[in-house]
Chains A and B, each alone.
Chain A
């Protein structure tokens, strides 16, 4: 147990860079403005969104109460949390288990594989608590106070809160561990990562299928009846994820037999999944880890001898470097591609599930009379681009090898230019799935499509330059595995907040224009404004590059 606790401590310390932070902020008192700004930024952004969310939660609670189902809002929140953990946590489980660089070190320690898994899984769990706190605490408090529930409710709530990430995440670990033990090469490792996603989705669908044939209790049925009428997506997921229903009932009927029964179901499933994961881990984990270490050697034998030596311009060489380092680092891919796919899915699922009253057919006529609403499409695509972590880690991702960029005789401005154009390309491509889907559903004409296409480009360019600008101001080089370069990088968060601010400003501008000028002239003005912002930010990053590259020391 002592060994495990030590392992747990070092895992957390290493991941969050606690020792480095202590040295920097407490001992040397260097760059104290950094954590202060982070706290202020997070506090401010968090407070705004949290107050909004609190209001929505209250609305849901009151609405549910009027329908005679006060726990409705709580179930929404639990479902949404499970859904978010599922999609964003699964990649985290896979990378933390298989794509960090401490594997050879851990294997050399006298520890059992299941202990290493437990430590790493705890880390992934801990990473979910921030989002979970944000999503769950407001509805939990509202419900508890509204219904006047006491101690047992609080206890149940704490237990459910702490254990909640297990059910969506442990199956991913249980799937990926045996799979990876068969991976003999790097390529297979990447392939199995994707396979894990496929299995997880199959697992979700299978659960959903199963639950339809389960005898339903009266309460579950009535809850689902209501869900069915009030949100097609959540109905789907509610059926596909019964643990959320159990958790809801455990909370709503805390202290009664029914509540205990639901809590029991929830706990049993949690424990079973954890045990399954640890058992499989004990049996298979190190096999996959150690095989992964042998990567390049297997490929060597098959290499052909001749190598092409061809000259490119420095600019092309820089773009190629960006590209290769991006596509060959699975962690980076996994932080980018799911966003491009998930957002369209979230947006479209409610429209295509059966039994909904969402008026797909009425969208086109509505847009004809309210043309400015089309801008929502560009706003969402810009938001997608702004949440992708590539721009805000443009420099940070170079890590300790940044010295190479400082050594080569290419002006910093040119280097940043290469980064910008490459990242713009990736970001723009990532906005495309949603963009295409949106224009198809809204049945836009070619003129509108072209207009939004260009506006989207301007917006994406602006937030890309904004992200790079933020990273140039204060890059984070101190990481030892690439996961941290994007996940522990405050710049990514700052860029997200800055994107929200950017969108806020232009939403106000758009609404203002809608009130005074007709659509096409309003659109042109907006395009000019956003295009101007993009050009300004682009120039800004080039100017800043010259300064940053020179002053950044390592």
Chain B
């Protein structure tokens, strides 16, 4: 459902190589976790997948459609949740959702049903008539989530979607993700919560300094390594060359 081939992107006129020749395939029915330390290039990669950034080199295909060649068709198939819940402050929640449903051309009865459904599970029904200005961080995040799922896109792409959600909502979201994949669709998300990645994801990629340093199922990644947990593997793999002792050794 998502194919990245030889994707590269640098900032500041080539001085910062944020993403360096990445290739990845996410299959239908798969929940794919994208891990990596701060500044590793996760957000940059995700922005290229959804068409917000133009890659310096490489190709992005979403649901078989080339993002660079036919962006409109590709965008229709994506539900995107950015790393920060940015919404028009001066619209009400319902105006925002209606706007998105309109531009994604969701028919009347379908939209009503879906919006009511998500508002119900995210407990936003009472707030949806208020200006977004008055929402809390988590409420905005839930509004953005609802907006991203309205048009029932086959491919969900989420940048740290659990940040700011209360435990109940986070649980519900994980449930929604699993349900989505059971239907043969795809979820691609970045996270810093390793337990979530461990329990939820079919496959995982770890990115560091713009390069993929590990990719596969949890078992595949753990294979041939003496470390037991994903946390230990993550720490080992993303260790800086400059620091000779890993944090763990240092502590013991």
Interface residues of A (CB under 8 A from B): 28, 30, 295-297, 299-300, 303-305, 307-314, 316-318, 320-321, 324-325, 328-329, 400-401, 403-404, 406-411, 550-551, 553-554
Chain A nearest Cβ from B31, distance in angstroms = 22
- Give B125's nearest chain A residue, CB to CB: A305
B232 interface contact, C-beta 8 A: no
B100 interface contact, C-beta 8 A: yes
Residues on the B chain within 8 Å of A550, using CB: 54, 71
B90 touches A314 (CB 8 A): no
Give how many A-B residue pairs fall within 8 Å (CB-CB): 107
30 A-B pairs whose Cβ atoms sit less than 8 Å apart in the complex = A28-B12, A28-B13, A295-B131, A297-B134, A299-B130, A299-B134, A305-B126, A307-B128, A308-B94, A309-B111, A311-B106, A311-B111, A312-B98, A312-B102, A314-B103, A317-B98, A321-B91, A321-B99, A325-B91, A328-B90, A401-B86, A403-B52, A403-B86, A406-B52, A407-B75, A407-B80, A409-B72, A409-B75, A410-B103, A553-B54
B104 interface contact, C-beta 8 A: yes
Q: A296-B133, A307-B94 are in contact. Are A401 and B111 (CB under 8 A)?
A: no
Chain B nearest Cβ from A419, distance in angstroms = 14
Chain A nearest Cβ from B69, distance in angstroms = 12
* Bound Cα distance A404, B51 (Å): 11
Proximity string of chain B (77-100) to chain A, C-beta cutoff 8 Å, 1 when within and 0 when not: 000101000111011001101111
A303 touches B130 (CB 8 A): yes
B53 interface contact, C-beta 8 A: yes
Chain B nearest Cβ from A160, distance in angstroms = 42
Residues on the B chain within 8 Å of A309, using CB: 94, 97-98, 101, 108, 111-112, 115
A408 touches B103 (CB 8 A): yes
* Bound Cα distance A406, B91 (Å): 19
B129 interface contact, C-beta 8 A: yes
Proximity string of chain B (180-214) to chain A, C-beta cutoff 8 Å, 1 when within and 0 when not: 00000000000000000000000000000000000
- Give A294's nearest chain B residue, CB to CB: B134
Q: Which 9 A-B pairs have the closest CB atoms?
A: A296-B134, A317-B102, A328-B90, A409-B75, A296-B131, A311-B108, A303-B129, A409-B76, A307-B94
B2 interface contact, C-beta 8 A: no
- Give B105's nearest chain A residue, CB to CB: A314
Q: A296-B134, A409-B104 are in contact. Are A551 and B99 (CB under 8 A)?
A: no
B90 touches A307 (CB 8 A): no
Residues on the B chain within 8 Å of A310, using CB: 98, 108
**Extra pairs beyond A309-B97, A312-B102, A550-B71 (12, CB < 8 Å):** A300-B130, A303-B129, A304-B129, A307-B128, A309-B115, A311-B111, A314-B102, A321-B99, A324-B95, A328-B91, A401-B86, A409-B72
Of residues A310, A313, A411, which shows the largest number of chain B Cβ atoms within 10 Å of its Cβ?
A310
* Bound Cα distance A314, B54 (Å): 25
Residues on the B chain within 8 Å of A410, using CB: 72, 103
A408 touches B75 (CB 8 A): yes
B131 touches A299 (CB 8 A): yes
Chain A nearest Cβ from B174, distance in angstroms = 24
* Bound Cα distance A310, B102 (Å): 9
B158 interface contact, C-beta 8 A: no
Chain A nearest Cβ from B26, distance in angstroms = 19
Interface residues of B (CB under 8 A from A): 12-13, 50-54, 71-73, 75-76, 80, 82, 86-88, 90-91, 94-95, 97-108, 111-112, 115, 125-131, 133-134
Q: A320-B99, A407-B50 are in contact. Are A295 and B108 (CB under 8 A)?
A: no
- Give B108's nearest chain A residue, CB to CB: A311
Residues on the B chain within 8 Å of A408, using CB: 75, 100, 103-104
* Bound Cα distance A308, B102 (Å): 13
* Bound Cα distance A277, B72 (Å): 54
Q: A296-B131, A311-B111, A407-B80 are in contact. Are A317 and B54 (CB under 8 A)?
A: no
B51 touches A407 (CB 8 A): yes
* Bound Cα distance A297, B132 (Å): 10
Chain B nearest Cβ from A50, distance in angstroms = 38
| Of the residues A296, A314, A406, contact of B130 by C-beta under 8 Å | A296
Chain B nearest Cβ from A457, distance in angstroms = 28
Chain A nearest Cβ from B150, distance in angstroms = 11
B86 touches A400 (CB 8 A): yes
Chain A nearest Cβ from B9, distance in angstroms = 10
Residues on the A chain within 8 Å of B73, using CB: 409
A406 touches B51 (CB 8 A): yes
Residues on the B chain within 8 Å of A303, using CB: 126, 129-130
- Give A310's nearest chain B residue, CB to CB: B108
Residues on the A chain within 8 Å of B102, using CB: 311-314, 316-317
- Give A415's nearest chain B residue, CB to CB: B103
A318 touches B103 (CB 8 A): yes
A553 touches B112 (CB 8 A): no
A311 touches B101 (CB 8 A): yes
